[in-house]
Structure 1
Amino acid sequence: MTKLEKPVVHVVFNMSAAGSLRQALADMGVKEKVIVGLPDDLSFGPVDPPAFDIRARWVEDMLGFDSWQDLEQRSDLFWKRATGRGIAPVAWVCRRNAMEFAGFLEFVSRVGAHPFRVVDITEVEFAPDRSESTSWRTISFGVVPSHSIVRTRLLERQTTLSGQELQAYRDLWKRLRAENAPFRVVSDHGLQSAPITYFDKAIVTHVTNDWRKCSYVVANCLGALWDDGTYCGDLVLWSRVRALADEGVFEMEGDGVRMRNSSVRLASRAV
């Protein structure tokens, strides 16, 4: 790897990934900094523009979460550090993960002509651990443990994007921003816009005629989506459970504010 004059700083778009990468670098004796992962999740909400105040209002109105604005200072600091001209950034991305891919595309858009390197782990085959029998691929850098980062020698996979690749990513993000859909999801065709109802069908499959705790429904839906290779956060699913109850698809009992204090079942007309 060519020695760069500016200090190398690793940029990740997943909070969990930042800790694992930091530990991996320490284990390898590599004295390079890791920016704390992007606290925002650009796989949902308005992104044209991705102004934090606009996004925070959308999260409160559409997802029912009123503390998103608390992340604004941390998000602003992340972008200031990640795109600073005094560093040599290395951006880590898994294009199977909508949150990480969307964050990466926003980074590519913001960094402009400033040179950076990329570690794309989308197609990386990770060797099995003791508890695993086969190699595996991940849908999130956030679940790759530090020892796998070291053992797979991911640090050596740094590349520089060609001008054509950069333009393709910028064109993709320009299109997604113009569509400004409620969700961005990964499909066989890459990162695409999706409507607010995108996850509803998956949620309904985990609700029955009997009362089930909403935390149980959300957790099981998250697991099924993950097994299917789809990233989604619990905040999104919980908001859609409440919306489906409001629409009469589900009956809900409890406070309707906390998953653990609420239960749902199929409404009689939906049976």
Structure 2
Amino acid sequence: MKIEKLKKIIKDLREEEAKSLLLYILYRVNLLKETKYSENEFIDDLRRIYTMIFDVNEQSERNKEGTFRNVHILFGASPAGSLKVALKDMGVTKGENIISFWDVFSIGPVWRLHEEAGKELRFEWIRKNINNEYDEFHEYKQRFQKTMNEILTIPEGVPVTIWTAENSHEQTGLRFVLHLLKDRNHDIFVINTTKVYRKLFNHRKVKYTVLHSGEIPPEKLQLIYEHSKNKPPLSQHERDDLEKEWCTLAENREELRLWGNGKIHSVSVDYYDPYIIIMAKKLHHEMVAQEFMKSARLIGQVLGHLDQYVGDEFLEYRLRKLIEKGIFEVKGNLKAMRFYSVRLVNF
């Protein structure tokens, strides 16, 4: 029975994969409350998720066989899941291999990340600074190495499609992957989801800027893929330029990167600290004087106003640093943002 197969697939899911599916669902619940996204669209998306769970298992079995004619590389769990659904709807999952870095490359060191010393430096930064509420750090390291190995063992001659939006996370990932594939015999195609989304879906009355590829639902990702099919691969000159940009990034020790004017800019890790304080002051004005605010509320407020993709975990790390400096008082347990509240000391 299908239900028995479903139980087995769910049981075999890694915790990170299960949480990704949950996030996918809750994101759409939020869309129901805050946008014109309809209940019928929500039900359709739930059906897609149901299909995707079986597709993830089938994809895993195909990858074990190592027989594929095209490789897709993405950055983040959410866009990988959406692409699996899109390919399934297109009826082209056979021979399509999906590889995804479950990481945020806009934050943390990328100094010589293509070498063991660089990887260990990044792992240690993540371990020390990003809250590990669910004890996922060991799995994160394993998954990172596994993804690198999958990229390095792509069979010669297989075309590679790299999906990236206009943010420092995916653009850094693009340059990193191109360096890993340096001197390899692959046609490499790049799909800029921000640009294609703008071209296909932004109209005079409705304009939306895609911050990262994970924001794009499967049905639109499918149209983006179909639109991009006839685009030529990167020229050797284009590859060389992007690989050189990686070499520059890989010699920089800054721990935060932003995207602007078509370039990645490395900045100080405390770049957003003043903005966190400004947003805290605004929230204090809306509340009873000297009242503690939930840290998740403050972080959500900051995240909602940023035009960069850095993730809530990074902002929570910076909030803890501001607590250490005595700028915020804290009430609760710092193990995770949902467990504590803060208020400015000199508000």
In the TM superposition, 1:219-258 aligns within 5 A as: 219-225=300-306, 229-258=307-336
Q: Write out per-residue CA displacement over residues 145-164 of structure 1, whole angstroms, 9 at most, x where no aligned residue.
A: 11112234344254311222
* Correspondence 1:264 to 2:342: yes
* Rounded Cα–Cα distance in structure 2 between residues aligned with 1:17 and 1:154: 17
* Rounded Cα–Cα distance in structure 1 between residues aligned with 2:201 and 2:124: 43
In the TM superposition, 1:204-223 aligns within 5 A as: 204-207=277-280, 208=284, 209-223=290-304
Q: Which amino acid aligns with 1:200?
A: D
1:48 corresponding residue in structure 2: 111
Tell me the SS of whatever aligns to 1:202.
helix
* Rounded Cα–Cα distance in structure 2 between residues aligned with 1:160 and 1:91: 11
* Rounded Cα–Cα distance in structure 1 between residues aligned with 2:100 and 2:230: 20
2:163 corresponding residue in structure 1: 92
Quick check: 1:35–1:81 contact (8 Å CA) kept in 2?
no
Quick check: 1:9–1:34 contact (8 Å CA) kept in 2?
yes
* Rounded Cα–Cα distance in structure 1 between residues aligned with 2:330 and 2:154: 52
Quick check: 1:10–1:32 contact (8 Å CA) kept in 2?
no
2:206 corresponding residue in structure 1: 134
* Correspondence 1:168 to 2:238: no
Q: Write out per-residue CA displacement over residues 160-187 of structure 1, whole angstroms, 9 at most, x where no aligned residue.
A: 1122221221121111111121111112
How many residues align? The count is: 259
* Rounded Cα–Cα distance in structure 2 between residues aligned with 1:6 and 1:83: 15
2:266 corresponding residue in structure 1: 193
Q: Write out per-residue CA displacement over residues 206-251 of structure 1, whole angstroms, 9 at most, x where no aligned residue.
A: 21353110011111111111xxx21111111101111101111111
* Rounded Cα–Cα distance in structure 2 between residues aligned with 1:46 and 1:151: 35
1:148 corresponding residue in structure 2: 220
Quick check: 2:163–2:193 contact (8 Å CA) kept in 1?
yes
User: TM-score, normalized by length of structure 1?
Assistant: 0.86
Residue ranges of structure 1 left out of the alignment (5+ in a row): none
Identity of aligned residues (%): 25
Tell me the SS of whatever aligns to 2:195.
coil
2:102 corresponding residue in structure 1: 39
Q: Write out per-residue CA displacement over residues 98-121 of structure 1, whole angstroms, 9 at most, x where no aligned residue.
A: 221111111000001222222222
In the TM superposition, 1:17-96 aligns within 5 A as: 17-30=79-92, 31-50=94-113, 51-65=118-132, 67-86=136-155, 87-94=158-165, 96=166
Q: Mark the CA change 1:159 to 1:137 in structure 2 (over 3 Å): closer, same or farther.
A: farther
Quick check: 1:98–1:184 contact (8 Å CA) kept in 2?
yes
Quick check: 1:119–1:154 contact (8 Å CA) kept in 2?
no
Give the one of 180, 189, 199 matched to 1:110.
180
Task: Give the number of the structure with larger relative contact order, counting CA–CA contacts within 8 Å between residues 6 or more apart.
Answer: 1
* Rounded Cα–Cα distance in structure 2 between residues aligned with 1:57 and 1:108: 24
Comparing 120-129 with 194-203, which one deviates more in the overlay? 120-129
* Rounded Cα–Cα distance in structure 2 between residues aligned with 1:189 and 1:120: 12
* Rounded Cα–Cα distance in structure 2 between residues aligned with 1:241 and 1:266: 11
Residue ranges of structure 2 left out of the alignment (5+ in a row): 1-66, 285-289
Q: Whose radius of gyration is greater, 1 or 2? A: 2
User: Between Structure 1 and Structure 2, which shows a larger proportion of helix residues?
Assistant: 2
* Rounded Cα–Cα distance in structure 1 between residues aligned with 2:232 and 2:210: 20
Quick check: 1:53–1:69 contact (8 Å CA) kept in 2?
no
* Rounded Cα–Cα distance in structure 1 between residues aligned with 2:230 and 2:170: 18
